[in-house]
Amino acid sequence: MATLLLRLSAPMQSWGDQSRFTERDTRREPTKSGVVGLICAALGWSRDHDLSPFMPDKMLMGVRVDREGIVLRDYHITQDVLKASANSKDTVVSNRYYLSDADFLVGLESNNREFLLDINKALQNPKFPLFFGRKAFPPSRPIVPTADELGFDNPTEKSVKDALTEAPYNYCGSNGAPPEKLRLILELSPKDPDYFTLGLVRIDQPISFARREFLQRRVLIDYCKPEIGDD
């Protein structure tokens, strides 16, 4: 078992999992489909590439919310949009939500350490441009934290929960003090006895990006005390 940690930090991010037509939502933390899409872009995979290495029986994802961010809305008006009939044009109004000033630490736990090393390498030299939910939302800092930043190897032999809990926290609130606790979103293994009783449903497990197919997975909300690191 090994865990690779990723830092997702940007002025704006969007992680939708229920977007339909003119309503483009965002969750308060990264979705698994969004993180997998980011990795696929780095690896240079096509949209019809096999995504089985990211299934819950092979890879679990966890998120630590270092800065919650603020949900904001863009009100879009698009003119001269062709209808399906191609005989007339119309104006389309859409609401697009995004997170402002959010910062996340994402952990990917897998028994395939070599695959995690491939992801690590690809994210540092990506095949395609990387962005957080929309092409206008690029990262503001390197995605893969170094061993010097973390105080341990990356990938590490720790579980995803231990890696997220023990990784240093480098932010302070407006009062100059760190928060008392940080929110964790931990993916449950289908073999976990609490999978159906405590797990919250997320419909963001990608099966095929080409066909836009997704399955349910389940997550557990937990909290950890921040380990203060150097800025």
pLDDT at 91: 74
For residue 58, pLDDT beyond 80: yes
Report pLDDT for 76: 66
47 is written with which tokens?
């949209």
Q: How many other CB atoms are found less than 10 A from the CB of residue 74?
A: 13
Does position 186 have pLDDT exceeding 60, yes or no? yes
Asked whether residue 146 carries a pLDDT value surpassing 80, the answer given is yes
pLDDT at 36 over 90: yes
Helix (H, G, I), strand (E, B) or coil at 111: coil
Most confident of 10-14, 74-78, 97-101, 195-199: 10-14
Domains and CATH numbers, the chain: 2-68+101-225 (3.30.70.2660)
Residues of the chain with pLDDT > 70: what percent? 87
Give me the residue label for tokens 């008392």: 180
Alpha helices in the chain (DSSP H): 32-43, 113-124, 147-150, 160-166
**Cβ atoms of residues 209 and 222 within 8 Å:** no
Residues 171 and 197: their CA atoms lie apart, in Å, by 34
SS3 52: helix
- Helix then strand then coil, % of the chain, to nearest 5: 15, 40, 45
User: Higher-confidence residue: 143 or 69?
Assistant: 143
CA 142 to chain centre: 15
The predicted structure's pLDDT at residue 228: 79
Q: Cα 76 to the chain's mean position, in Å?
A: 25
Its pTM stands at 0.89
Question: Which tokens sit at 159?
Answer: 């579980």
